[in-house]
A and B are shown apart, each in its own frame.
Chain A
Amino acid sequence: MNKPIRRLAFFAMVLFGVLLVNVTYIQVFQGEALREHPFNGRQYANQLTQPRGPILVGSEEVAFSEPLGEKEDDKYQRKYPAGGLYAHLIGTFPVRGEGIETRQNALLEGSDERLVVRNFIDSITGKEHQGASVELTLSPKAQEAAQAGFEELGKNGAAVALDPETGAVLAAYSNPTFDPNEVSSVTDAEAANKAWTDYEGDENKPLLNRALNERYPPGSTFKLVTAAAALEDGATPESTMDAPETLNLGAPLPNAWGGPCNGGQPDTLAHSIEQSCNTSFANWAIELGADKMTEQAEKFGFNGEDMAIPLPVTGSLYPREEDRNVLGRSGIGQANVESTPLQMAMVAAGIANDGDVMKPYLVDSVKDSDLSEIEGHTPETLSTAVSAKTAEDLTQMMILVTEGAEASGPGGAIPGMQVAGKTGTAETDSGPTHNWFVSFAPADDPQVAVAVVVEHGGGSGGTLAAPIAKRIMEAVIDQ
């Protein structure tokens, strides 16, 4: 009878082996995923009784933890003194939705492995637990200018400002916004939940980070990409193209003002940009062909991989168009072209930076509580979109947009300084036009590149969006 007993003993060992392997798998290999699982309430409950590191813009704390009592078990309340100004970027704590609070959670709460040693020593020496502080690249003035511009206009939309040389995000404002203080109360969680649910149900989508996560047809601002493709293909600002009153693209495509662009004569590239000629650019796109158009758009970042800055950025689309009519419309940023405000700001920044598109980033540095730097940022080139020569040509053409004789965007001009810009008024299926303005300034030594979109503004990019862009550029340059 011993043989079956031995086999049974072996089987019992196998049972224990299965348990040991499984427990090892859960606790070690699956551990992190489980600890950060959205159902896992402990990650938040633990955090409530510990102070988090602050989030800074400039030297100002825009998110910080305030103790609610003296005892060890007392909770901390997260405060957001700037209200809705940075709401979409910072996010909220207890974490809901996206934001730095969510993306840099481990660093802020101090559980990141780079903080473990210091926190362990602190716990022995009896010091309070502390998280790291996260410093953002934002310029408070630029962000405020964007908010003020949209609030005066009273429309939905978004504005993005980049430092063209580094890719640092100077402003990224989405209108309407929400007050993170209302949804992060730890003393009245029910009210916080209700406030969040109300925001979620609001048809204006105040929780949506339009600057990074909403795609709009870019309209005429996309002509910059088409012009870039033409220049890279050997054309010059003086190269001409047929620019009739209407162009038959399945349905007739008119110009914004209903007439031809150069009195019925072929129009130069520079003049077409200046007054934003539809028919000539549709012809340029068709002549260049789908390959070159797609290639140029992708060099600026369209159809790219998902980006995290570290907030997730929705990708922008320029699908390859085989059909002549659709290809023509894609050349003026209609048809199936869709872009986030950030993507159009990257187009402007790329032109401003001699053709190099820098990778955008929002976190300037992360510092431990002893002020030692844990994470810095080295600017990275995302791609070289155009040659320096092409970038210079485009800049000169864009200056005409704000100060030329037939300028389409004089509202973006800043006295005493050259501003390179491009307007856009995009047709939508769902209502009035979206109004765009992308620009950078000063044109000879760019410090800031901006993209502004006014959602269903129903006016023109030059009148609605350009003034907001101007305010943001001034805010950056004046400081």
Chain B
Amino acid sequence: MSAPVPNRPLPPVKRRNAELVMTLMAIGLTLFAMIEAGLTRNGEMPPSLFLYGVLFGGLAILAHVFIRFFAPWSDPLMLPIATLLNGLGLAMLWRLFEATGETENGSAMSQLILTAISMALFAAIIFFLKEPRTLQRYPYLIAIGAVFLLLLPLIPGIGMTVNGARQWVNAGFTTLQPSEFAKIALVIFLSGYMVSKRDVLSLASKQVKIGRFKILDLPRMRDMAPMAVMWGFCIIVLVILMNDLGTSLLLFGTFLAMIYVATHRSSWIVIGLAAFFGACALLYPFVSHFRVRMVTWLDAFNPEVYCTDEFLTDPNAFCTTSGTSQQLVKGLFALAQGGMTGAGLGGGQPGYVPEVQNDFIFTAFGEELGLTGLMVMLLALALLVERGMRIALAAKELFIKMFASGISFLIAFQTFVVIGGVTRVIPMTGATIPFVAKGGSALLSSWIMLALLMRMSNNARKPAPQSIQDEGATQVISR
């Protein structure tokens, strides 16, 4: 075992100019991607290129300038990564909709407007939330808020079911997915709750022994309450009532990660996983959409699951509609088509994948940018996550440690759930790639998470105030 690493503060450097250069590069890549798509598809420069350049590029630069003033010590890598991911998503949506003239399923313009709103919200959070630790004052209030948000789609009248999952709310002018915001609220609540209950969760235990060997440190039954509540909520509400497997998986996974960080006890993970998968196994025979997803995942290439045209017209086969695995399998075909370097933006046919603009936008990137492009995207997301974890390591307050690692893991796990589903590592559950996916709620929540991380990194990296030197100067005390 190596000696414990001392809790070093991050180097007090600003590197704001580096951030500017990288942000400019991300903007340039976005515009270049649009130009390539326009030239390949239609043989002309995108007519709205200037508008996108000014709005998207201008706003990203504004965000940078804003950070210079209000969070000058924050991590310089985060804004460029977010700009790149958001910009690539924007360019791909433009290529899928505007460049092909099929704007009935969505448009890059609305995504651009949502990006603007998200960046504004990002700035507002950085400006108003000077000390993220103030959030731990009202854990239960925030918990109630999170639960309210999660249950909102169940209210008749405003709740909507899309593609089988009841996770949408009709807000009149637009539709929202409140679970995207609830998950952030939940991380705030868990951070606060676990910091205060940390000792009892991690210390009180009874040991399970076989002979002389310690197998597991089991928590006391009464300390299991938060686990039980979380478990019940994820299974009963999300899986059974709302058919929202993605959110359920995401929230429970994040919960387990956070309780592990708080207690450093692996028994919590063992218990949590056993309870979650046990419930899944028990529910399997009764919840049909559950079975459908498992079969789709395990047996995607079975003709009767895929339902080829041949089977659709064959009266002896079971197929009456096109099969459940068509999207998954066609997504894999799109990835295979892309190969190492891809067809180039605009050069492929991502439209072969049904609903490609949503979760499956990853396959469109795979087809047109190839393995190379996907690696860039995945590494950018990985870098963002690891920078977030670095904040958690450097922070001094326990709440911030919990909060930063929780948000970072949320981003990582969300990426894994959606991309793993699309590439058949795990069953498809439905989630959104942070920053990239189409949709207001997803984009807003991504930028909110980014704002929180950057604010925390600013506070963690800011050098401590110098002690008063006897040089006659007046000490300026600022908050």
Interface residues of A, Cβ cutoff 8 Å to B: 1-9, 11-13, 15-16, 18-20, 22-24, 26-28, 30-35, 37, 39-42, 45-46
A40 touches B389 (CB 8 A): no
A16 touches B423 (CB 8 A): no
Known: A5-B392, A8-B260. A23 touches B385 (CB 8 A): no
Known: A8-B261, A15-B413, A42-B352. A30 touches B336 (CB 8 A): yes
Q: Chain B, 259-302, contact with A by CB distance < 8 Å: what is the 0/1 string?
A: 01111100000000000000000000000000000000000010
Q: How far is the CB of B10 from chain A (nearest CB, A)?
A: 13
| Assembly CA distance A42 to B367 (angstroms) | 12
| Assembly CA distance A8 to B306 (angstroms) | 37
Known: A27-B370, A28-B340. A12 touches B408 (CB 8 A): yes
| Assembly CA distance A32 to B337 (angstroms) | 8
A8 touches B339 (CB 8 A): no
Q: Chain B, 372-389, contact with A by CB distance < 8 Å: what is the 0/1 string?
A: 001100110110011001
Known: A5-B392, A8-B260. A22 touches B425 (CB 8 A): yes
Contacts of A16 in B (CB 8 A): 378-379, 381-382, 385, 412, 415-416
Q: How far is the CB of A119 from chain B (nearest CB, A)?
A: 14
Besides A8-B260, A27-B335, 16 more A-B contacts (Cβ < 8 Å) are A2-B401, A5-B393, A5-B401, A8-B389, A9-B408, A12-B382, A15-B412, A16-B415, A19-B423, A20-B379, A26-B332, A27-B366, A27-B370, A34-B332, A34-B336, A39-B303
Identity of the chain B residue whose Cβ is nearest the Cβ of A21 in the assembled complex = B425
In the complex, whether B333 has a CB less than 8 A from a CB of chain A is: yes
A35 touches B264 (CB 8 A): no
A12 touches B389 (CB 8 A): yes
In the complex, whether B338 has a CB less than 8 A from a CB of chain A is: yes
Q: Residue A12 contacts which of B303, B335, B374, B386 (CB distance < 8 angstroms)? A: B386
Contacts of A7 in B (CB 8 A): 260
Q: How far is the CB of A465 from chain B (nearest CB, A)?
A: 38
Contacts of B378 in A (CB 8 A): 16, 19-20, 23
| Assembly CA distance A308 to B381 (angstroms) | 49
Identity of the chain B residue whose Cβ is nearest the Cβ of A30 in the assembled complex = B336
Contacts of B264 in A (CB 8 A): 1, 3-4
Identity of the chain A residue whose Cβ is nearest the Cβ of B406 in the assembled complex = A8
Q: How far is the CB of A94 from chain B (nearest CB, A)?
A: 12
Q: How far is the CB of A142 from chain B (nearest CB, A)?
A: 36
**By DSSP majority rule, is chain B's interface helix, strand, loop, or mixed?**
helix
Q: Chain B, 400-420, contact with A by CB distance < 8 Å: what is the 0/1 string?
A: 011001001100110110011
Q: How far is the CB of A16 from chain B (nearest CB, A)?
A: 4
In the complex, whether B240 has a CB less than 8 A from a CB of chain A is: no
Top 9 A-B residue pairs of the complex, sorted by shortest distance between their CB atoms: A34-B336, A9-B389, A12-B412, A16-B382, A15-B416, A27-B371, A31-B336, A4-B261, A4-B264
| Assembly CA distance A9 to B411 (angstroms) | 12
A42 touches B7 (CB 8 A): no
In the complex, whether B477 has a CB less than 8 A from a CB of chain A is: no
A5 touches B366 (CB 8 A): no
Q: How far is the CB of A53 from chain B (nearest CB, A)?
A: 22
| Assembly CA distance A3 to B222 (angstroms) | 27
A5 touches B349 (CB 8 A): no
- Can you list 22 residue pairs at the A/B interface with Cβ under 8 Å? A1-B264, A1-B398, A4-B262, A5-B261, A8-B260, A12-B389, A12-B408, A12-B409, A12-B412, A16-B385, A19-B416, A19-B419, A22-B423, A22-B424, A22-B425, A23-B378, A23-B423, A24-B371, A27-B336, A27-B370, A37-B333, A45-B352
| Assembly CA distance A8 to B406 (angstroms) | 10
Contacts of A13 in B (CB 8 A): 382, 386
Q: Residue A28 contacts which of B303, B339, B412, B424 (CB distance < 8 angstroms)? A: B339
A19 touches B408 (CB 8 A): no
Identity of the chain A residue whose Cβ is nearest the Cβ of B408 in the assembled complex = A12
| Assembly CA distance A24 to B339 (angstroms) | 9
Identity of the chain A residue whose Cβ is nearest the Cβ of B394 in the assembled complex = A2
Q: Residue A18 contacts which of B336, B375, B408, B420 (CB distance < 8 angstroms)? A: B420
In the complex, whether B464 has a CB less than 8 A from a CB of chain A is: no
Known: A18-B425, A19-B415, A26-B423. A1 touches B352 (CB 8 A): no
Identity of the chain B residue whose Cβ is nearest the Cβ of A189 in the assembled complex = B309
| Assembly CA distance A15 to B426 (angstroms) | 12
In the complex, whether B329 has a CB less than 8 A from a CB of chain A is: yes
B374 touches A23 (CB 8 A): yes
B5 touches A2 (CB 8 A): yes
Contacts of A22 in B (CB 8 A): 420, 423-425
Q: How far is the CB of B349 from chain A (nearest CB, A)?
A: 6
| Assembly CA distance A22 to B419 (angstroms) | 10
B405 touches A8 (CB 8 A): yes
A26 touches B261 (CB 8 A): no
B308 touches A39 (CB 8 A): yes
Interface core residue of B262, B306, B423 (most chain A CB under 10 Å): B423
A9 touches B386 (CB 8 A): yes
B261 touches A1 (CB 8 A): yes
| Assembly CA distance A39 to B419 (angstroms) | 22
Identity of the chain B residue whose Cβ is nearest the Cβ of A17 in the assembled complex = B382
B333 touches A35 (CB 8 A): yes
| Assembly CA distance A15 to B379 (angstroms) | 12
| Assembly CA distance A40 to B306 (angstroms) | 11
A2 touches B412 (CB 8 A): no
Identity of the chain A residue whose Cβ is nearest the Cβ of B6 in the assembled complex = A2
Q: How far is the CB of A102 from chain B (nearest CB, A)?
A: 17
Q: Residue A31 contacts which of B303, B339, B375, B425 (CB distance < 8 angstroms)? A: B339
Q: Chain B, 338-354, contact with A by CB distance < 8 Å: what is the 0/1 string?
A: 11100000000100100
| Assembly CA distance A181 to B315 (angstroms) | 27
Q: Residue A1 contacts which of B337, B338, B401 (CB distance < 8 angstroms)? A: B401
Q: How far is the CB of B369 from chain A (nearest CB, A)?
A: 11
Q: Residue B338 contacts which of A6, A27, A30, A40 (CB distance < 8 angstroms)? A: A27
Q: How far is the CB of A196 from chain B (nearest CB, A)?
A: 10
In the complex, whether B257 has a CB less than 8 A from a CB of chain A is: yes
Contacts of A24 in B (CB 8 A): 371
B352 touches A41 (CB 8 A): yes
Q: How far is the CB of B343 from chain A (nearest CB, A)?
A: 11
Contacts of A34 in B (CB 8 A): 332-333, 335-336
Identity of the chain B residue whose Cβ is nearest the Cβ of A46 in the assembled complex = B349
Q: How far is the CB of B203 from chain A (nearest CB, A)?
A: 14
Contacts of A33 in B (CB 8 A): 336
Contacts of B375 in A (CB 8 A): 20, 23
Contacts of A19 in B (CB 8 A): 378, 415-416, 419-420, 423, 425
Known: A1-B401, A12-B386, A26-B423. A39 touches B301 (CB 8 A): yes
| Assembly CA distance A39 to B386 (angstroms) | 39
| Assembly CA distance A5 to B393 (angstroms) | 7
Q: Chain B, 351-368, contact with A by CB distance < 8 Å: what is the 0/1 string?
A: 010000000000000100
| Assembly CA distance A2 to B460 (angstroms) | 14
Contacts of B257 in A (CB 8 A): 8, 11
B329 touches A27 (CB 8 A): no
List B439-470 residues whose CB lies under 8 Å from chain A. none
| Assembly CA distance A22 to B7 (angstroms) | 35
| Assembly CA distance A274 to B248 (angstroms) | 84
| Assembly CA distance A7 to B301 (angstroms) | 37
A23 touches B371 (CB 8 A): yes
Contacts of A39 in B (CB 8 A): 301, 303, 306, 308, 329, 333
